Amino acid sequence: MRKTFLAATVILTLISCKKEEAPISIEANQTPIEKLIAGNQRFLEEKTIHPHQNKKSVLENQNGQHPFAVIVTCSDSRVAPEILFDQGIGDLFVIRNAGNLISDIDMGSIEYAVEHLDAKLIVVLGHTECGAIKAYVSDKNNDYKKHHNHIDDIVETIAQEKEEIEEEKLHSKDKNLLGCINANIEHSYKTIANNPIIIKHETQILSMRYDVHTGKIVKL
């Protein structure tokens, strides 16, 4: 009787199991941007394959790295490029700070990835609900000029961006968070695009924005 019960349980379990889906593979001939877009789509559809996230990848990259893209993005804990683009060890050269700003050190990191690591793509990845931009748009009285802390340095850097100044001429910044986020992304994009080393190597540059509400990344 017990054997019959166990056999029936096994049969019911097999019947209830979903049919396994065919494994998703990465196309070898995809361009860098196609790899990123496809990866984010997998993330959105909950079909991530977590490529190059194993000990084998560690060993394959132990003597050098060959990232196919540079991602300049925010330090926000909700914005994790390797997860959102479904990539792994050795795939992305990631540069992060509050507000995805471009300091001399950040620019030097970008130059290194392009000139010495042969990265073919640079992505400036801003995001909705960015805390750094929120600090800027909520500062109605330019209190950042008092410089009580280093956060003021971040706000001042954003306030001095030409694109932010132009955007504020069109719309009041305190009611235009998304417009200011886009202006900040555009500023970083233009700063990188005007770099002589980037121009020399003819590196592709893209502006993108991540939506923290949906998980989707779009090109601007």
| pLDDT number for residue 31 | 97
Structure-block tokens of residue 115: 């000139």
State whether the Cα torsion 185-145-153-138 is positive or negative.
Answer: negative
% the chain with pLDDT above 90: 85
What is the mean predicted confidence (pLDDT) over 116-144? Answer: 96
pLDDT beyond 70 at 220: yes
Q: Is the CB of residue 206 less than 8 Å from the CB of residue 122?
A: yes
Q: Which residues of 164-193 are buried (b: 16+ CB within 10 A; e: fewer)?
A: beebbeeeebeebbebbbbbbbbbbbbbbe
pLDDT beyond 60 at 18: no
| pLDDT number for residue 28 | 73
Beta 204-210 vs 217-219: how paired, if at all?
antiparallel
Sheet of strand 121-127: strand arrangement = 92-97, 69-74, 121-127, 204-210, 217-219
% the chain with pLDDT above 70: 88
pLDDT beyond 70 at 17: no
How far is 77 from 49, CA to CA, in rounded Å?
22
Return the bridge partners of 69, or none: 92, 121
Residue 167's contacts (CB-CB under 8 Å, 6 or more residues apart) are: 173, 176, 179, 180, 182, 183
How far is 89 from 86, CA to CA, in rounded Å?
11
Indicate yes or no: pTM above 0.85.
yes
| pLDDT number for residue 1 | 56
